[in-house]
Structures are given as structure tokens and as C-alpha cells.
Structure 1
Amino acid sequence: MSALAGHPAPALLARRWRDPAAWRTTVDVVAVLLAASLPWSTSLVSILGVVMLVTMLPFLDVERLLQTLKRPISLAPIALFLLALVGTLWSDAAWGARLYAVGPAAKLLVLPALFYHFERSERGLWVFTAFLASCVLMVVMSTAVAFNPALALKANADRGIFVKNYIDQGQEFSLCAVVLAYPIAQLLRARRFAPAGLLTAIMIAFLANMIFIVVSRTALVTIPILLAVFGLIHLKWRVNLLIAVSAVMLALAAWSVSPQLQGKVATFTSQYQDYRNDRGITSIGERLEFWRKSLRFFADAPLIGHGSGSTRHLFELAASGRTDLAASTVVGNPHNQTLYIAIQWGALGVIILYAMWGAHLLLFRGDGLVPWIGLLVVVQNVFTSLFNSHIFDFHEGWMYVIGVGVAGGMLLKGRSTPEPARGSV
């Protein structure tokens, strides 16, 4: 005792080591760092994800965790991971490919852990604030790189890409831009014009970047859908009509002044024509070819699929002897989440996937910022997964896990109290 009295730092450390609240704070801090690092690094996200799970262990409430695991919102992602694991048993792919296919599903196991932790934590909004702040900084760097490409950390990066790629960046910016619509509307209703103006400026910065600097076809398709969800849930029909007319006018204005936007939209038709006439490999042509073949693979094994890691081998067999460019391409990902799962795990996997999306959508019923964030994360993932495999992609998959896990935990914490009445603007 006397020795500790002479050394307050070790004594404080010893007390905090035995303090459950201190460990929960540590998990909160790691989760904040995880969200902040997502736009910038893949390796750091992987490391922090493991650290976050480890720091939950010392004072784990097993009984409460088991209650969380029994909920459909946790059972569905766990079942999808287990199916990927068991699917290695009937696959014809090499064992390396089978186990590699299980890896992307492992992040889904973090969802129940986040539900469990943030049902007790008071710092869930810190996580979302950290992600927003990190994306705002990315807007600044993206703009700087657009004017000075030498600043990019990634060699031979596309215009306006500081790190990673335009798909990941488009997902971040489109989500942040539409999420901000809710607090802006609430601040305007409360006549708090200064903070509403600040958030509006941030929203415009995200949209301007996606219109004039880095244009993503996926973002172009999903942003109107996300905005429509916001309007249907939170706005009156007159306001929706006014916003729709204003959006069309702004879109036409953006089209007239943005060569990047014009060029990206023009690729929809030009790439399709190139695919039809076999004039080269294009991203749209590849997707159409991948989907056509994937449907055939699914028809060959409709119930439980061809097994984990079988996709590339099936495409290799389908490309054998083909000379046309699109048909001879071999991939391990058909760029559609449903088909990605259907090939490997059949209708059983598709049912589990849609059950997971459905359970998470139902979780975010009601009004409020947290349900709005969770709802948008799920809706964005569902619609962008028409063109990509975003549950199993690293960046977009972690966006889903963090967004749904943190928001879901926060909602579970407050579900014992009556939900506020749905407001309108």
C-alpha cells in the first residue's frame, strides 16, 4: 500500500485495470479510431477491429452477450458466416481458395459484438462523428489532389483520389451527404440557422466533389434513392415535390458545367455498345457477362451452391475456348451480392442474406438521428450490392458492420422507452 502511495501512476493504472468502466471506455476509443481510420487505411482497420474485440473480453457479460446473440439481427450474420465456413466441405476449389472465401464473411461476427457493447455505451455518436470528420478531411485532400496529383499517396491514382479508389470514396461521401439531410432538417425546424448552415456547407462539399472531381456511377444511382427514402419518411408531399423539382434543376445545371459528370453518364451507353459489338472490355460489359454466367452457375446448383471459393474455378471453365473478350474474362466476384452468394451457397445463402438485410431494416424503425443513420447504411448497402458485392468487400463491408452495429446497439439501449412520434417538415 505504501509503495503504491509513492507511485500514483502505477496505482491509478492498477485501479483502471480492474475497472469495468475503464475497459468500456477503451473499447469506445478503439471504435472511434476504427471509424476514423476507415476512409484511409485497410491494415489499420483490421488491426483495430481485433484490438476492439480483445478489449471487450476482460469484463465480458456472458449472459448479456448470449441474449444479444439470440436476436435475429445477430443470428442472421452469424448464420451467413457459418454457411461460408461449412460451404468449404462441398466445394471443388483448392483449399486455399475455399478458406480465402470465408475471410470476407468473418467481419460479420463483429456485428453482435458491437450490438452488445453499444447497448451499454454512451458514446455511439462519437463513432459516427469521427467517421464524418474523417470524410470531411478526405474531401479536402481529394480536392487538393485534383489540383496537384503529386500529393496522392497512391501511385497512378485516378483524379481526385488521395488513397484507396473512387468506389470507396463515393460510398463514403454519398452516405455522409444524405445522412446530413436529417439533422439539417431538424435544425431548420428549430430555427438554429448557424449549425444548419455549417452542415449544409459540408453536404454541398461532398456533393460538389462527386459532381466535379470524382464521379462514381454507383453513387449517381444510389444518391437519388437515398434522398427519396429521406423524403418519403421525413417530409410532407409538398416539400417532396419542391425538392424533386429543385433536384432536377440542380442536376441539369451540374450536367451543363461538369465535364466529369457528362463523361461518366455517357459511359452507360458507350460501354454497353462496346460490349455488344465486342470492341473491348468495359466495366458495364463485364458485369453483364458476369451476371449471365452467374445465373447459369446458380441454375446448376440451386439449393446449396457450388461451395465456398468455387466462383473463380467456374468462370475459368466457362471461359475455356472462348475468344470474345468479355466472355473470356475470369473473375472470382460477379459484382452482385446476391449472385456472389447464390453461386457458392445457393438459395440457402440468398435466404440468409435477405433475412439479415430484413432484420436490420426492421431494427431501424422509428424517427431520430440514430435510426436514420442505421437505415441509410442498410439501404445503401442493399442498392449498391446490385452492382457490387459490398457485404464481402472490405471497405463497404466494414461501413455496414460499423454503421449497423453501433446504431443498432444504441437503439437496443433505448428500446425500453417509448419511441418519439414521427415528425415531419
Structure 2
Amino acid sequence: MTHAYSDTALNVSRGLAIFAVVAVPMSTAATSIACVAMLAAWLASGQAFATLRQSWRHPLGKMIVAFYAWLVVGTFYADTDWPAKLQTLSSWKKLAYAFMLLGLFQSRRWQQRFVYYFVGVMAVAAIIAIPLWATDWVVRSGRGAGIFMTNHSTQSMAFTAALLGTLFVLHEPLSPRWKIAVWSAAALFVFNIFFVSTARSAYLALPVAAVFAFGSLYGFRKLPYFIGAAAVAVALFVATSDTVQQRIQVTLDEQAHYQTSASETSIGLRVVFYRNTWQLIREHPWLGYGTSGFKPAYEQVAKLNGQGWHAMSTGDPHNQYLFIWVENGIFGVLLFLAYIGVGLREGLANRPYGAIAASFLVAISASSLFNSHFKTFAEGYMLAFFLGALLSRPAELDDA
């Protein structure tokens, strides 16, 4: 196998990774096909084992292996059948992509392409969303006006990732024309997140991630100023956005009346899920119920504690940390937090693009207080690709 062919195959694999992360918010089918093609090109390069060795040398690569190994251990004491265990393990397979990309994207140029293409495509998507929202045009059944991606949460988190990217791109040497274009893209993302989308998790995730991003850019000693600025910006959006006001009011109403509501609500379900999940944690705090053990354990406690929709079964408490604690115990949670911590540290050490991935990791970590975004298809894959591609340590000799 010639050196030129091998490098071409690796570059094709990198290009398909970029296509996959751009496609994630819009099409699960396109993403899956791109991932298969990416793996095929990677294997065809003849350098798969070499890139995996590089992945293993990376601190985040070691944390991915450690966390996933504990998930595997959890399958042996879970009181479920093996199809259920394998299905839960499969839901974490995006960690394998992150591991792979850590050794594949050791190129500053390809990391730059990753960021620029993602921001560019999301900017076009943000432009498309605004007239759809303004004309109250629903293009996907069950979605609100202006929401044409998988769902409102995915669309908001994709724009959050792109917005964080623009904060760092603006610090690169750009012509005045390109600076205006990037500033305009940032404004489009902000407008979409706070005025078009109804995703409440993004209202929390973006300010927290933006504070982290500005801290990484200008120094964390100025953190109080950034927190103050974020608070003022959020207050401004709350005061001017009917969408945000309505979502906050719905949240307050659903929380206040969840005990007497005749039908389930988004917030009401979460309150019930959290209450029952904490009971499960108190009963088995150290090892948990094993990988795939959440749903059967939850079904039992839900039937004992509630009636009607309060007794509804679920396989996800809509909190990533509680889910891991129930299934994999306090040791699983500590490994997961260590994985996040190493990701943040490596991001700050691999500027500028690594800091984008770290900022998005902060956003997903915040949104996962009310969702399981590390495991969901769209948000989970976006994060895995951001971490793998942008936390990779560029080699001294960069390729084209």
C-alpha cells in the first residue's frame, strides 16, 4: 500500500467525519451511512491500528476506555437479559467514535475544516429557519414553526455548538468581510436559540457554555464579569422574547400542578422521574442496578409510588447523571465526571479548536441535567465528534 493512497484514504475518512457531524442534527440515516463509509475508508487506509495507538496515548482515550469498561462490568450484575444489556452498551457506541477520531484528526488543518464547515452549514440552516418561523410554516409534522431539524432541542444544541465555534473563529486572522459574515452568523444563532426554538435546555446550556468559552479566551480570572454579562444577556432575552417567556411560564405552571394534573406534562414527568430515581439511588448507591438495569428497577418503584401517569414506566429519567448513578453506581458517576473533567482539561490545553469542544462539552453537561444528551443520537454524536476531532493533538508534521 503506497503512502499516497494511505493518506488519501485517511483524508476521505476525515472528510466523511465532517459530513457526518454536519448531517447529525438533520438526518439520522445520512449520519449512519456517513459513519459506515468513514469506517470503511479508515480501515482501507492501512493505518487503523496506528491511529488507535495514538487514541490510546491521549488522556481522554484512556478515560473513554475506563468508563466503557465499567459499563461492561455492569452488564454482569444487571438483572436483565443480554439483548437489553447489549442494547444499552450500543447506546454508548458514540464513545467509540470519539476514541477513533482522537487518533484520526491529528491535523490542525482538518480541525479547522471541521469547525469552519460546521459553522458554515449551520449558518445556512439558521437562515432557512427564520422565514419558516416568521411565516409560521411547519415543515416537519409534530415540530414547531422554524424547526426543520430532528427536533427543537437538537436544532438548538446544533446552533449552540456553532455559536461557540464563532466565538473562537472571530479570533483568527480574517478579512473584514469574513469577520462581518461570522458576526452575522453568530447573531443568527442567538436569534434562533432564544426567539425561534422552544428548547428550554438550550436557554441554560448556552449561557453556561458561553461563560466558559469567554473564560478560556480571556482568562478565568475575569469569570465574575462574564457571569454578570451572561446574566444581563439572559435577562434581556427573557424580557424581549415571547418564546422564552411562554416556555418559562409553562415550566412554572407544570411544576406547580404536576401532582393534580390529569395528564402528563414535560416538567411533571421529570419531577416524578427524579423523585423515583433518587429512591433507587438510595437503595443501591454504590454499584447501582447494572448496565441496562434502570428500566426494570424503575418500573417497580413507579408502580409502588404512583397511579395513572405518575406510575408511567421509563428507560430514561431525563438526567444523565442520575441515569448513570442508578445503573452503574457512584463509581460509574465518578468515572463519568472524570471523563468530563479530562475533556475540559484537554480542550483548554489544545487551543483554539480544543476549547470549542470543551465549551460544547460544558453545554451538553449543563443540558444533561434535564436530558440524557450524552446518549441521545443527535446530541451524543455531535459531542463525540467534537471531542474526538478537536481534542486530538495535532502532529508536528501537518498534512493537507
User: Which of 199-208 and 223-232 deviates more?
Assistant: 223-232
2:160 corresponds to 1:174: yes
SS of corresponding position for 2:69: helix
Equivalent of 1:201, from 168, 175, 184?
184
1:11 corresponds to which residue? none
User: Which of 70-79 and 316-325 deviates more?
Assistant: 316-325
Distance in 2 (alpha carbons) for counterparts of 1:132 and 1:191: 15
Equivalent of 2:346, from 363, 372, 377?
363
Do the aligned partners of 2:194 and 2:203 also contact (CA within 8 Å) in 1?
A: no
Q: TM-score, normalised by structure 1?
A: 0.84
Alignment of 1:20-99 (within 5 A): 20-58=6-44, 59-60=46-47, 62-63=49-50, 65-99=52-86
SS of corresponding position for 2:311: coil
Give aligned pairs, total.
397
Distance change (3 Å), C-alpha of 1:89 and 1:368: closer
Distance change (3 Å), C-alpha of 1:393 and 1:201: same
Write out per-residue CA displacement over residues 88-109 of structure 1, whole angstroms, 9 at most, x where no aligned residue: 2222223332221111111211
Displacement, 1:134? 2.2
Distance in 1 (alpha carbons) for counterparts of 2:234 and 2:395: 40
Q: TM-score, normalised by structure 2?
A: 0.89
Displacement, 1:321? 5.3
SS of corresponding position for 2:374: coil
2:249 corresponds to 1:266: yes
Do the aligned partners of 1:275 and 1:282 also contact (CA within 8 Å) in 2?
A: yes
Distance change (3 Å), C-alpha of 1:368 and 1:73: closer
Distance in 2 (alpha carbons) for counterparts of 1:287 and 1:247: 27
Distance in 2 (alpha carbons) for counterparts of 1:366 and 1:91: 38
Distance in 1 (alpha carbons) for counterparts of 2:175 and 2:121: 25
Alignment of 1:154-169 (within 5 A): 154-169=140-155
Distance change (3 Å), C-alpha of 1:383 and 1:360: same
2:258 corresponds to which residue? 275
Write out per-residue CA displacement over residues 144-180 of structure 1, whole angstroms, 9 at most, x where no aligned residue: 332455561x223222211311111111112222331
2:322 corresponds to which residue? 339
Computed over aligned residues only, the root mean square deviation of the Cα atoms, in angstroms, reads: 3.0
Equivalent of 1:136, from 123, 135, 146?
123
User: Which of 277-286 and 248-257 deviates more?
Assistant: 248-257
1:349 corresponds to which residue? 332
Do the aligned partners of 2:6 and 2:47 also contact (CA within 8 Å) in 1?
A: no
Distance change (3 Å), C-alpha of 1:193 and 1:245: farther
2:197 corresponds to which residue? 214
Displacement, 1:236? 7.2
Equivalent of 2:209, from 213, 216, 226?
226
Displacement, 1:273? 0.2
Write out per-residue CA displacement over residues 58-89 of structure 1, whole angstroms, 9 at most, x where no aligned residue: 31263553243144311221233333334222
Distance change (3 Å), C-alpha of 1:69 and 1:248: closer
Distance in 1 (alpha carbons) for counterparts of 2:236 and 2:117: 33
Displacement, 1:118? 1.0
- Counterpart residue identity of residue 68, structure 1: S
Displacement, 1:316? 1.4
Equivalent of 1:413, from 386, 395, 400?
395
Displacement, 1:289? 1.9
Displacement, 1:206? 0.9
Larger-Rg structure: 1
Displacement, 1:120? 5.0
Displacement, 1:197? 2.1
For structure 2, the 5+ residue unaligned runs are none
User: Which of 377-386 and 136-145 deviates more?
Assistant: 136-145
Distance in 2 (alpha carbons) for counterparts of 1:114 and 1:337: 23
- Counterpart residue identity of residue 392, structure 1: K
User: Which of 367-376 and 304-313 deviates more?
Assistant: 367-376
Do the aligned partners of 2:58 and 2:102 also contact (CA within 8 Å) in 1?
A: no
Distance in 2 (alpha carbons) for counterparts of 1:249 and 1:80: 38
Displacement, 1:414? 5.7
Distance change (3 Å), C-alpha of 1:291 and 1:221: same
Displacement, 1:365? 2.2
1:6 corresponds to which residue? none
Distance change (3 Å), C-alpha of 1:280 and 1:169: same
Displacement, 1:42? 0.9
Do the aligned partners of 2:54 and 2:102 also contact (CA within 8 Å) in 1?
A: no
SS of corresponding position for 1:265: helix
SS of corresponding position for 2:80: coil
Distance change (3 Å), C-alpha of 1:44 and 1:81: farther
- Counterpart residue identity of residue 28, structure 1: R
Distance in 1 (alpha carbons) for counterparts of 2:310 and 2:102: 43
Displacement, 1:240? 7.5
Distance in 2 (alpha carbons) for counterparts of 1:285 and 1:299: 22
Distance in 2 (alpha carbons) for counterparts of 1:26 and 1:63: 17
For structure 1, the 5+ residue unaligned runs are 1-14, 417-425
Displacement, 1:220? 0.9
Displacement, 1:35? 2.0
Write out per-residue CA displacement over residues 351-374 of structure 1, whole angstroms, 9 at most, x where no aligned residue: 221121111111122474213212
Identity of aligned residues (%): 20
SS of corresponding position for 2:178: helix
